[in-house]
Amino acid sequence: MRTTTLGSDGPDVGVIGLGCMGMTASYDLETPRDDATSIAVIHQALDMGMTLIDTADAYGPFTNEELVGKALAGGYRERAVLATKVGLVMGDTGAQVGPGTASPGAGRNGRPEHVRESIDSSLRRLNTDHVELYQLHRVDPEVPIEETWGAMAEAVAAGKALHIGLSEVTVGEIRRAQTVHPVTSVQSELSLWTRDVLAEVLPFCKEEGIALIPFSPLGRGFLTGRFSSFDDLPQDDFRRQLPRFQQDAIRANLAIVARVREVAERAGVTPAQVALAWVLAQGTLVVPIPGTKTPKYLEDNAAAAGVELNAAQMAELDALPPPEGTRY
């Protein structure tokens, strides 16, 4: 796979990475975890050059980091650009955490002491002495971002993290963090049906040499055409809580999927590859991390790195209507 740099001063990574959340949390909870297959998928991703491996302490919680730590044992660790996160925490409900604080039981904790404790716990679960990228999962509105970011900068000074990044932030929050320590990356949702960051955040990141790491670049799987109704979602699937996946919204949003499929058929590729190619076309600093726990889908995603959309195809995709329903 071709490579790019994670921001202006970060490590080289494959242009597509791997999001690991779904291996232990949020999606299709009825299906038993298959750690052996998930570990094989992580190994396969590294073999194909998808070197950015993304996890978080909140996923599970904690179980995702443990799984990734097992997968990277031995020689695999030195081949990975390992990223984890802090700041999104679970309450006492025991509920699974999803990508935002709309999930039952999820809250935010940006206190410096929490950051200091969490990096050590994450490194222990990941079975490593450092991560390449440590990210603030969500800004805590009760704690000045400068204080949280200062504690994360301490992790860099101590060699526990080589770089630090933010997630789901405004340009103003990025600017405030930069007064304390350089921001290497910003992780935010970006896909053909979630384009908010294109207005301000991505242009600012390009100006500042900050990487954008899009999560859910396949619209949480919807843009692949796998779901045609609410009933297609497993009973305990996190997406059943999201407005865009409610029955009326799905009916309306299928029109978006149909047009993506038309572009894919004419190009001789899959809808997932079209969706990822559109994200990649937003710039060399953009490194999407589609999540999967299936070898077949991993191969499909990786192949998107070789898909180049022409001007007419990009214009057609850019003209897609906004989705029905909010993100959360």
pLDDT tens digits, one per residue of 88-120: 998 643 333 444 444 545 799 999 999 999 999
With 0-12 / 13-18 / 19 or more C-beta atoms within 10 angstroms meaning exposed / middle / buried, residue 218 is: buried
Q: How many CA atoms lie within 13 A of 235 on its CB side?
A: 2
pLDDT at 274 over 90: yes
What residue ranges in the chain does DSSP mark as E strands? Answer: 3-5, 12-14, 18-19, 52-54, 81-86, 88-90, 106-108, 131-136, 161-167, 185-189, 211-215
What is the predicted pLDDT for the residue at 94? 37
Segment among 32-46, 59-73, 90-104, 154-168 with least mean pLDDT: 90-104
- 3-class secondary structure, 308: coil
Predicted pLDDT of residue 93: 36
Q: How far is Cα 34 from Cα 314, in angstroms, rounded to an integer?
A: 37
Token representation of residue 77: 């660790």
Query: Which residues are marked as active site?
Result: 59
Res. 238 pLDDT band, cuts 50 70 90: confident
Q: What is the pLDDT of residue 99?
A: 43
What is the pLDDT at residue 236? 80
Host H or E run for residue 262: helix 247-267
- Cβ proximity of 65 and 126 under 8 Å: yes
- Domains, the chain, with CATH or none: 12-318 (3.20.20.100)
pLDDT of residue 235: 84
pLDDT > 50? residue 222: yes
Least confident of 14-18, 87-91, 230-234, 315-319: 87-91
The single residue listed with the structure tokens 């000045």 is 144
